[in-house]
């Protein structure tokens, strides 16, 4: 072990760049640091957070139960605003889940090693966000007893599912996304489940982790099969980055409403989804790395790279906002022109300018290196990005309030049950997330070890002590 831990700016002599893992840890040090939250520690803070999350989960369940009992009239929807916060929340949560697939699959295929410290976070976030999203298509349809119409049930008489409905497309796209993401996440967890199994102190933990480890022993044959499966799932998941939110955007784009019926929506929604997804990864990873003492594994290099992605996608989103106004003007269509002028200066101008401030202005701070490496600034700005992206979906949906018939125009006001359902969805998300950090390694142990200098065939271990070598041998089995 080095007597003086290298700083972030110290160069890795093997790669000629800043090291991906600080403090020059051994393989055993990595295992101990990542598994520590699942094995020991003071769980009082965790229990406090978990109880708060469960409380809001209960709020969600009560809100849904009341909705089923009374009907969608408990929400603020009216005529013409037939879609309210339910569709806003659905699109928001699907977008949150996009960063997981991008980090895990796309960056893996491009051999971006910095992803190894954050990909487990992002994959877990994807699973939980998609679960939250899947709640809303089922509850916002009104006739919940007929929700099975959204699935490909036998339809010989052509009376049940409407295969031309974007709602049905959403079910296909999001369920496919969830299935592939879950498999991808689970396959990556198998070696780590085996590590937890081998370190378990009780029979119950050994049995539980052993079942999920699928008999993993770390043999060459196991690793070859693992790498093939992981690569195959990454290749399958990569097109989903583009396809899923494109299909979700069709909810709006196939309508004939001004402001919605446009071909810019698929790329615009995909960029926005990656934008909000990376912001949520920052929001979760920054406090977690501090609480669980993982700053040497998830450090400023990883956070800065995510900030750069947010800057890129935020600029794309800002460009899309500007192009919407240009297309409306260039089309010469007075209805399109009115829609966008009304967004900026009409009844919902307050929401529009919150959206622009959070999604266009906020990412521009990341042009400055000092701000990209300032953890507090990153955390605050990531929250603003998520707020802005929720308001983006709100602004798009509220185009309904001024339709083709001025006599039917109305102003949407959320009710208590709208707000409780939104807060409850966060309770569902954080309940899953807190269970994840308590029972599953939040960093991919095997993948992080692979980017250590010791894993390189050109590594010179002459400076390593006999004790360190013994620890690494034990860590390798």
Structure tokens at 339: 């829609």
Q: Residue 330 falls within a domain, yes or no?
A: yes
Instruction: State the Cα–Cα distance between residues 454 and 192, nearest whole angstrom.
Output: 19
Task: Name the nearest CA neighbour of 321 among 257, 265, 248.
Answer: 265
Of 389-393, 420-424, 452-456, the one with minimum mean pLDDT is 452-456
Structure confidence by residue, pLDDT tens digits, 225-240: 999 999 999 999 888 8
Distance CA 467, CA 475 (A): 12
What pLDDT, on the 0 to 100 scale, is given for residue 315? Answer: 93
> Does 156 have pLDDT greater than 70?
no
Judge whether 21 lies within some domain.
no
Residue 290: inside a domain: yes
Cα–Cα distance measured from residue 473 to residue 381, given in angstroms and rounded to the nearest whole number: 43
How large is the average pLDDT for residues 390-401?
A: 90
Q: Which residues contact 313 (CB under 8 A, 6 or more apart)?
A: 271, 272, 274, 275, 278, 363
Which residue range forms the structural domain that includes residue 94?
A: 27-142+166-456
Helix (H, G, I), strand (E, B) or coil at 201: coil
3-state secondary structure of 462: coil
Residue pLDDT, tens place only, 138-155:
888 777 887 777 777 776
**Which residues does residue 17 pair with via DSSP β-bridges, in sequence order?**
12
Number of domains in the chain: 1
Confidence band (pLDDT; 50, 70, 90) for 292?
Answer: confident
Structure tokens at 74: 């408990």
Residue 344 lies in a domain: yes
Structure confidence by residue, pLDDT tens digits, 415-440: 999 999 999 999 999 999 999 998 99
In this prediction, residue 110 has a pLDDT band, given cuts at 50, 70 and 90, of: confident
- Does residue 156 fall inside a structural domain? no
Q: Region 282-290: what's the mean pLDDT?
A: 90
Evaluate whether 382 touches 282 at the Cβ level (below 8 Å). yes
Whether the Cβ atoms of residue 213 and residue 193 lie closer than 8 Å to each other: yes
Domain presence at residue 339: yes
Q: How confident is the model at residue 467 (pLDDT cuts 50, 70, 90)?
A: very low
More confident call, 439 vs 455: 439
Burial class (CB in 10 A: 0-12, 13-18, 19+), 284: buried
- What's the average model confidence in pLDDT over 110-116? 86
Does residue 243 form part of some domain? yes
**Are the C-beta atoms of 44 and 367 separated by less than 8 Å?**
no
Question: Nearest CA to 437 among 295, 278, 289?
Answer: 289
The span from the CA of 341 to the CA of 328, in Å, is: 10
Global pTM reads: 0.87
474 belongs to a structural domain: no
Helices 166-199 and 27-39: crossing angle in degrees, nearest 10, is 110
pLDDT digits (tens, 9 = 90+) for 306-334: 999 999 999 999 999 999 999 999 988 89
Do residues 272 and 95 lie in contact, with contact meaning Cβ atoms separated by under 8 Å? Answer: yes
Tokens of 349: 């101008």
Q: Look at residue 387 in the predicted model and tell me its pLDDT.
A: 94
């Amino acid at each position: 072990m080095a007597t003086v831990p290298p700083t972030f700016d110290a160069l890795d002599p093997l790669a000629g760049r800043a090291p991906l893992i600080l403090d020059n840890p051994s393989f055993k040090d990595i295992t101990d640091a990542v598994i520590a939250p699942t094995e020991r520690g003071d769980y009082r803070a965790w229990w406090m957070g978990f109880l708060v999350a469960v409380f809001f989960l209960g709020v969600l369940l009560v809100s849904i139960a009341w909705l089923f009992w009374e009907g969608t009239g408990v929400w603020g929807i009216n005529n013409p605003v037939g879609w309210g916060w339910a569709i806003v929340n659905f699109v928001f949560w699907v977008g949150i889940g996009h960063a997981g697939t991008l980090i895990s699959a796309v960056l893996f295929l491009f051999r971006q090693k910095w992803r190894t410290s954050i990909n487990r976070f992002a994959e877990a976030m994807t699973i939980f966000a998609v679960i939250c999203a899947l709640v809303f298509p089922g509850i916002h349809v009104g006739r919940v007893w007929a929700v099975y119409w959204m699935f490909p049930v036998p339809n010989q008489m052509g009376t049940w599912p409407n295969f031309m409905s974007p709602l049905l497309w959403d079910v296909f796209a999001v369920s496919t996304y969830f299935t592939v993401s879950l498999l991808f996440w689970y396959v990556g967890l198998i070696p780590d489940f085996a590590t937890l199994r081998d370190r378990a102190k009780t029979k119950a933990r050994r049995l539980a982790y052993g079942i999920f480890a699928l008999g993993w022993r770390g043999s060459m044959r196991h690793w070859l099969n693992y790498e093939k499966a992981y690569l195959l799932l990454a290749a399958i998941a990569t097109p989903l980055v583009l396809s899923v939110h494109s299909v979700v955007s069709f909810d709006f784009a196939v309508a004939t409403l001004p402001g919605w019926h446009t071909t810019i929506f698929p790329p615009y929604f995909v960029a926005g989804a990656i934008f909000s997804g990376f912001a949520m990864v920052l929001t979760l990873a920054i406090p977690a790395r501090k609480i669980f003492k993982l700053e040497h594994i998830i450090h400023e290099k990883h956070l800065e790279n995510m900030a750069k992605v947010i800057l890129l996608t935020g600029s794309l989103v800002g460009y899309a906002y500007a192009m919407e106004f240009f297309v409306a003007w260039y089309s010469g269509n007075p209805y399109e022109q009115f829609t966008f002028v009304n967004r900026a200066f009409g009844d919902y101008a307050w929401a529009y300018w919150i959206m622009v401030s959070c999604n266009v202005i906020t990412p521009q701070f990341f042009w400055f290196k000092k701000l990209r490496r300032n953890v507090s600034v990153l955390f605050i700005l990531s929250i603003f990005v998520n707020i802005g992206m929720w308001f983006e979906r709100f602004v798009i949906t509220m185009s309904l309030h001024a339709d083709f018939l001025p006599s039917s125009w109305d102003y949407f006001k959320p009710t208590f049950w709208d707000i409780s359902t939104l807060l409850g969805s966060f309770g569902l998300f954080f309940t899953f997330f807190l269970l994840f950090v308590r029972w599953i390694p939040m960093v991919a142990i095997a993948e992080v070890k692979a980017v250590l200098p010791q894993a390189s065939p050109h590594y010179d271990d002459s400076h390593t002590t006999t004790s360190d070598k013994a620890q690494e041998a034990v860590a390798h089995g």
